[in-house]
Structure 1
Amino acid sequence: MLTCFASTLFSGQPTFTLSEEESKHAVRVLRLPPGAPVTLVDGRGTVYAATIADANPKRCALLIQSQLFIAPRPYYTHVAVAPTKNLDRMEWLVEKAVEVGIERLTFLRCARSERRELKLERLEKIAISALKQSGQAYLPQLDELIDFEKFVPGLTPETTFIAHLEAGERTALSQVAGVGPGCCVLIGPEGDFSPAEIELALSRGIRPVTLGASRLRTETAALAAVFTAHIARE
């Protein structure tokens, strides 16, 4: 069954018109006729069962049959990561993190960052596609690129952790990620956080953690943090 994203659908609305891109996919590519079932997700917890009322390849109209609200997870996962120079690796991260389930993804501009600018439009489309493919009900918040120094002061230290590679005592994320109502994990660029950035985080009460013995790529570390946070809550 086709799953579509409905960013402007409201409760009680009997019909909905798909975007031109979604309409073309449904009518021209999949050749769905009137009466064919379609699932709509709004990214805010509501899933709608619908049928095609008008198979127009530019403005495919759907008739809403029923709706189901799915409660959010009682635990949030927030990862803040320095994007890599190769954007494909960030696209992979967004796709997989949405499939696993993440509430918020923030992009950091760090002292050793290779990428200093980032446009979210492409990443948002990938997130929506992953949402539809995986059957998730909630679209995560994607934050614009922000300087590390500006981002850290607004964090809650009790539920925030920094995964760095400098020497020193660190706790396994799996041991602390499931303690509070959620967690935020900071992941640095390929060259790691700078000593000054690590000191800033620690001075704010943010605790250092490890994701295991292996030295992971930035995007792999970020996804590992998402997996670990989920496993810690099971």
Structure 2
Amino acid sequence: MNKPLVGAFLAALLLGAGAAPVVAAEPAQQAQTQETAPKAGPEAKAVTFAGTVALSNCSGSVVRSPDSAPTDPALVLSNGHCLESGFPGPGEVVVDQPSSRTFTLLNASGDGVGTLKASKIAYGTMTDTDLSLYETTSTYQQIEDSYGIQALELETAHPTAGTAITVASGYWKRTYSCDIDGFVHQLKEGRWTWKDSVRYTPECQTIGGTSGSPVIDDTTGKVVAVNNTGNESGQECTDNNP
């Protein structure tokens, strides 16, 4: 699945919100959205590639919850459809499965500065959301000491329409800037159904390889969703055409 969209987060750790970019002239994705709110508040932060990673087939990021300790094993966030074992089936959840997958860690400029190694797939699914979460062999403190890079923090509150966001792809070393256009209560693609997906405004026309990219709130610098899909050929509810 080549994805410009965002999948909902693991409820216990992440937001429970996913993101899907709008494609021009695509009325099928209009259902159940929130009104766009006017922008106001603090100035946007400069979003960089620091803390993002490149997988062999996707993008991802090193993430932490607000209460993560420096000595905790670092977590890498990506999509469930990016798992090395293939797409989890509907209703399937992968938990605590050994993994030796590697990730190229990027600095602010998008340069690869080191390699992180997974110890296990802590969680992976394509049911209700499109999410994978890897536990690595390095702690957050070890990564910061070795590379001077801090993990991206997960936002605990649900995102809001009108929020300025950046999709940062470690695979392509490319960013996409737009706003949250609204939310899709239920999004169907082929055999899979996702809930509470975030829809982007048309400026974020993401491409294959951006799957798993963190969706970052430009104001807070926190991760509010993970990019996962988009409509590629105008069909409805088929693979690559949610």
Q: TM-score, normalised by structure 1?
A: 0.26
Q: State the structure with bigger RCO (CA 8 A, min sep 6), 1 or 2.
A: 2
Query: In proportion to residue count, which structure has more helix?
Result: 1
Bigger Rg, which one: 1
Query: In proportion to residue count, which structure has more strand?
Result: 2
Q: TM-score, normalised by structure 2?
A: 0.25
